[in-house]
Amino acid sequence: MPRIVCVCLSHWPVTRLRRAGLAPDQGPLAVAAEGAGGLRFLALDPEARALGLRPGEPLGRVRARIGVPLQVHPADPDSDRAALLRLCRWAEGYAPGVAPFGPAEAADGFYIDVAGASHLRGGEGPLVDDLAGRLARSKIPARIALADTPGGAFALARYGASDRVIVPPGGAAEPLRALPVEALRLDPGTVSGLRRLGLRRVGEIDALARGPLARRFGEALLLRLDQAMGRRPEPLAPLTAEAAYRAARGFLDPIGRQSDIVVTARLLMAEIAPRLERDGLGACALRLVLYRVDGVMRVLDLGLSWPERCPERVAALVSLRLDRLGAGLDAGFGFETVALTVTVTGALSARQTELGAAPEGDGIDALADALAQRLGRPLLRLGARASHIPERAAQPLPWTRAPTSWPDHRPPRPLVLFPRGEAALDVLSTVPEGPPRRFRWRARIHAIVHAEGPERIAAEWWHAPGAARDYYRVECEAGRRLWLYRDGPHAPGRPAAWFVHGVFA
């Protein structure tokens, strides 16, 4: 059985600044990042919190309120992540299975799987005490919990009553039930929806029927609940040893210019490419690590939409990424080492490169990769979902080269589909069960000159039954083509409710 230690680091960005000597040890300290309406607090030290400040609060509203000098530093997530990875490497002295937090935790910290290793420290209690003591002596505030699962350990470390919790094997369920729903690592929308229903504790959710929960909040809620309770496994992704496809180059004279970094990335990829070709693979994701002279690491992750081993293309993507960073790269006194690692591979067979044949991956894939580096986020595409309801029939998916298959048997759909139908008022129909002849929508009267339909659409049988919709494709006198539906079939004595759901080209 796994035994997971969770180390949840409190206000890690300000801790890193103080440990690196970039901020004085005295006075309240805050880290701010761009958010809605300007700069907002990302992390605060205990002195700043004692003044009544909270993460997420706008910076501009508090300077006059607190009445004391406040040190504010800009957020540097890359340096925070690099320092966290160095701390994870140090924690491997307790057990080899160390995994840093991912996006789901929305916090800074790491897990250690100490199953089979705790006896080397005298048992689980002495191991946790030793770990907590070393972190305290290094002035790294942390909350620590040990449980059977990563989800349970995280919940107890982040939201438990004590900053040091050890639960016996199989004993995490009871203390978890008393914790708030935020402890399940859910997205903010799900947490808000649960609280609107009066569900504030994990135990209240666990006591409800699973079917209605899944229909209302999706499978992610049940997955996180089962992972925390130990009903479903949650494998960790520990830090790996030396990658099979990695190359590095050191410099006696540190480099700092963008052109030098791009050239180095091309040379490193040219060194890795023969190994990938030998194994019939290509790079789907790469990590470029720049080691500064003062020990700070800059990590750039590159994702590709199709396996690639062309050095020129990789160098072009690196150049685009550096263009977006600009002065944010912060070379300092220069980079003394540059390393390129292929973190994800994919099958890539031999391909024609002569006789004028275009290399595989040109066109839309190259454009998608270039846009992803320029925008700083992966591209998405629309994929079909198994649902007849129009607003549920598509879902955003990560960009891949594989074509999206859409049902070819359904009637045409509008170019613009509204998230929900917009009410059509003052509807006038010549035939009660037919389409309207005139209606008011968005403060304008629309007279219909042509209509096609109806197309009846109802929810799937496994969902809760709901009223079917009768959709019509209509054309107005002004030439606008709309997608109109009546909520439920025509019935004598029941007023018809009409909605506009989309606009055709």
**183-229 pLDDT tens trace:** 999 988 999 999 999 999 999 999 999 999 999 998 889 999 999 99
Q: Inform me whether the pLDDT recorded for 1 exceeds 90.
A: no
Q: Inform me whether the pLDDT recorded for 172 exceeds 50.
A: yes
Q: Inform me whether the pLDDT recorded for 44 exceeds 50.
A: yes
Closest to 18 (Cα-Cα) out of 33, 32, 31, 34: 31
Q: How confident is the model at residue 361 (pLDDT cuts 50, 70, 90)?
A: very low
**CA distances for 477 relative to 434, 450, 473, angstroms:** 18, 9, 14
According to the model, what pLDDT value does residue 382 have?
79
According to the model, what pLDDT value does residue 54 have?
86
**pLDDT tens by residue, 442-492:** 999 999 999 998 999 988 777 666 678 999 999 999 999 999 999 887 778
Give dist(CA 136, CA 466) in Å, integer: 58
Q: How confident is the model at residue 358 (pLDDT cuts 50, 70, 90)?
A: very low
Which H helix or E strand runs over 88? helix 77-91
In the chain, the amino acid numbered 247 is: A
Q: How confident is the model at residue 316 (pLDDT cuts 50, 70, 90)?
A: very high
DSSP-based helix, strand, coil % in the chain, nearest 5: 30, 30, 35
The residues, any chain, with a CB within 8 Å of residue 501's CB and separated by 6 or more, are 390, 414, 417, 418, 421, 422, 471, 483, 484, 485
Residue 339 β-bridge partners:
248, 289
- In contact, 65 and 74? CB cutoff 8 Å: no
pTM for the structure as a whole: 0.53
Give dist(CA 8, CA 15) in Å, integer: 13
**pLDDT tens by residue, 146-160:** 999 999 999 999 999
The answer to which of 162-166, 230-234, 404-408 has the lowest mean pLDDT is 404-408
For residue 270, count other CB atoms closer than 10 A to its CB: 16
Cα 77 from chain centroid (whole Å) = 15
Give dist(CA 18, CA 45) in Å, integer: 10
Taking phi over 0 as left and psi of -120 to 50 as alpha, with beta for the rest, 472 belongs to beta
- In contact, 376 and 300? CB cutoff 8 Å: no
According to the model, what pLDDT value does residue 37 have?
74
Q: Inform me whether the pLDDT recorded for 5 exceeds 90.
A: yes
Exposed/middle/buried for residue 242 (C-beta within 10 Å: 0-12, 13-18, 19+): exposed
E strands along 159-278, which residues? Answer: 164-166, 246-255
- Share above pLDDT 70 across residues of the chain, in percent, rounded to a whole number: 92
Residue 469 β-bridge partners:
457, 487
Residues 54-58 have a mean pLDDT of 85
